[in-house]
C-alpha cells in the first residue's frame, strides 16, 4: 500500500528554528521528524510513499535531504516519490496535487509528515475496512478539530474548535482514504485562510459513504510549537536503553540511561543523571553536569563546569565554561559563551508564556528556558529571561540581559 505525506507547511509557529529549517527536518533524538514517520510506515509494511513539499528553499531542503540521506543511503525499504505543491492552498489541495500517483479506487494512508505517530495507529487503520480516520482523546476539545461520530462509530461531521461539547476525539491527521477523495475536490469551497481543507473533504465523504472513526491506540505527539520538542524528547528518552560505547573517564559518574557512541567521550569529574542521548564526536566536560532528559547533537562540545538540564542541543554547538542551559532548545552551530545563564522559571511560579506570531502563548510549562536559532552567538555572562527566543545569526553583547525576543 502507498502513503501520502504532506510536508509543505511553513512552520512559522516553530520560529526561530523554522526560520532556517523546515519543520519536517527538525530533529527529535537527533533524527528528523520525517524519518520518524517513514519508520512508522515501514513497520506497517507500507512500501511506497508520496511526499509533497512546498516550492522554494524549504521544499528544496527537504528534497535534497530525502534524496541524499534517505533514498541514496537506502534507509527505508520504500519507493519514494517527491511532488511539489507550487501554491500552498491547504491539505485538500495537497491530496489533489498527488492524485496522479494513486489509482481511481486505490486505498492509501494519509499522515502529516511532521508530527509523531505511534505505529499501532497506522496498524488499526489498515485492518479496518473502507475510509478511516483516527482521533485522539483530548481534555481541551475547544482547541482542536473534533470528530463527531454516531453510535456505530461513523463520522457525522468535523467541528473545528467547538464552543459546545460535541466529542473529544481530535483529528490527528492519520487516515485511510481512497480515490473518491480526488473526485470531490471541485465541490470544496476555499476557506477564509485561502485554503482547501481536508476536513471539508471528509465532511463530503461522510455524507456519501461510511467513514469509520477510530480512537488512537498509540502515541500521537503533535509538533506545533518549539516546546513540543521537549515533550517528545521526554517521551522517547524515558523508554531509552543504555548503549555505552564511547570513553567515560573513571572519575565521572553516571545514573540513569545513557547512549554514548564510540566517537564521543565524557571527561573527568562529569556527573550524568537522567536519560541522556549523546551524538557522534561529542566531548562533555570536564566537570560538566547533564541531567533530566537531554540530547546533545553531533560534533558539539559541552565545556568545563557547564550544566545542561532537560534540553535539546543541536549539532556543532559550543557551550563554554560555567554556563547553565535549562529546559531549552538550541539550534545548530550555536556558541554559548562562558558564564551564560538561561533562566527557566518565573519567580511567581506561573507557567511560562512566549510570543508567537504577535501573541503571547502559554506553554503550560512551569519551566521553560530559551529557543536559540541556528548560528546564534551569546556573549560572555549573557542572561536570558524564561521563554525568550533569539533568531538565527544574531548575537548578544557581553553581560547583555535578554528580556524580549531578539528577532533582528
**What does the pLDDT look like over 100-136, one tens digit per residue?**
999 988 999 999 988 999 999 999 999 999 999 999 9
52 forms bridges with which residues in the sheet? 6, 83
Q: How many percent of the chain have pLDDT more than 90? A: 94
pLDDT, residue 104, reads 87
- Answer whether residue 407 is part of any domain: no
Q: Is 361 helix (H, G, I), strand (E, B) or coil?
A: strand
Domain boundary among 164, 195, 224: 224
Q: For the chain, give the percent of residues with pLDDT over 70.
A: 100
215, 288: one domain: no
Domain CATH for 246: 2.160.10.10
DSSP letters for 199-239: HHHHHHHHHHS-EEEEE--S-EE---STHHHHHHHHHHHTT
Residues 309 and 339 in one domain: yes
Question: In terms of residue numbers, what domain contains 311?
Answer: 232-402
Within a domain: 408: no
Q: What angle do CA 157, 158, 161 make, to 5 degrees?
A: 140
Confidence of residue 18 (pLDDT cuts 50, 70, 90): very high
Helix (H, G, I), strand (E, B) or coil at 237: helix
Same domain, 358 and 379: yes
> Domain check: are 165 and 248 in the same one?
no
**Do residues 316 and 239 share a domain?**
yes
Q: What is the number of structural domains in the chain?
A: 2
pLDDT band at 11 (very low <50, low <70, confident <90, very high): confident
The dihedrals phi and psi of 390, each to the nearest 5 degrees, come to -130, 130
201 and 67 belong to one structural domain: yes
> What digits encode the pLDDT tens for the residues 158-213?
999 998 888 999 999 999 999 999 999 999 999 988 999 999 999 999 999 999 99
Would you say 217 and 197 are in contact if contact means Cβ atoms under 8 Å apart?
Answer: no
Amino acid at each position: 500500500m502507498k502513503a501520502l505525506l504532506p510536508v509543505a507547511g511553513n512552520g512559522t509557529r516553530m520560529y526561530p528554528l523554522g526560520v532556517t529549517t523546515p519543520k519536517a527536518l527538525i530533529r527529535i533524538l537527533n533524527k528528523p521528524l520525517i524519518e520518524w514517520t517513514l519508520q512508522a510506515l515501514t513497520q506497517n509494511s507500507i512500501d511506497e510513499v508520496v511526499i509533497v513539499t512546498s516550492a522554494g528553499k524549504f521544499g528544496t531542503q527537504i528534497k535534497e535531504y530525502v534524496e541524499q540521506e534517505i533514498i541514496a543511503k537506502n534507509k527505508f525499504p520504500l519507493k519514494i516519490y517527491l511532488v511539489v505543491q507550487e501554491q500552498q492552498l491547504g491539505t485538500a489541495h495537497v491530496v489533489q496535487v498527488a492524485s496522479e500517483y494513486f489509482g481511481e479506487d486505490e486505498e492509501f494512508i494519509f499522515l502529516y509528515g511532521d508530527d509523531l505517530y505511534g505505529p499501532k495507529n497506522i496498524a488499526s487503520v489498515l485492518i479496518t475496512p473502507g475510509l478511516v480516520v483516527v482521533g485522539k482523546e483530548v481534555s481541551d476539545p475547544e482547541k482542536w478539530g473534533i470528530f463527531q461520530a454516531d453510535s456505530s462509530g461513523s463520522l457525522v461531521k468535523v467541528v473545528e474548535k467547538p464552543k459546545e461539547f460535541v466529542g473529544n476525539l481530535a483529528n490527528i491527521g492519520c487516515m485511510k482514504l481512497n480515490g473518491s477523495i480526488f473526485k470531490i475536490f471541485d465541490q470544496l469551497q476555499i476557506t477564509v485562510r485561502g485554503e482547501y481543507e481536508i476536513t471539508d473533504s471528509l465532511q463530503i465523504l461522510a455524507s456519501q459513504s461510511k467513514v469509520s472513526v477510530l480512537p488512537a491506540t498509540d502515541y500521537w505527539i503533535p509538533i506545533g510549537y518549539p516546546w513540543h520538542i521537549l515533550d517528545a524528547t521526554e517521551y522517547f528518552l524515558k523508554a531509552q536503553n543504555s548503549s555505552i560505547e564511547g570513553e567515560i573517564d573513571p572519575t565521572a559518574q553516571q545514573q540513569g540511561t545513557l547512549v554514548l557512541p564510540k566517537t564521543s567521550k565524557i571527561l573527568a569529574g562529569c556527573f550524568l543523571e537522567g536519560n541522556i542521548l549523546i551524538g557522534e564526536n561529542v566531548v562533555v566536560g570536564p566537570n560538566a553536569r547533564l541531567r533530566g532528559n537531554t540530547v546533545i547533537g553531533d560534533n558539539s562540545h559541552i565545556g568545563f563546569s557547564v550544566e545542561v538540564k532537560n534540553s535539546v542541543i543541536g549539532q556543532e554547538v559550543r557551550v563554554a565554561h560555567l554556563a547553565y542551559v535549562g529546559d531549552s532548545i538550541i539550534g545548530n552551530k550555536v556558541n554559548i559563551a562562558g558564564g551564560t545563564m538561561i533562566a527557566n522559571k518565573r519567580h511567581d511560579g506561573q507557567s511560562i508564556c512566549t510570543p508567537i506570531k504577535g501573541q503571547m502563548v502559554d506553554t503550560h510549562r512551569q519551566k521553560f528556558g530559551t529557543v536559540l536559532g541556528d548560528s546564534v552567538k551569546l556573549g560572555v555572562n549573557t542572561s536570558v529571561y524564561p521563554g525568550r527566543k533569539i533568531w538565527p545569526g544574531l548575537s548578544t553583547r557581553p553581560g547583555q540581559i535578554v528580556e524580549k525576543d531578539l528577532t533582528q
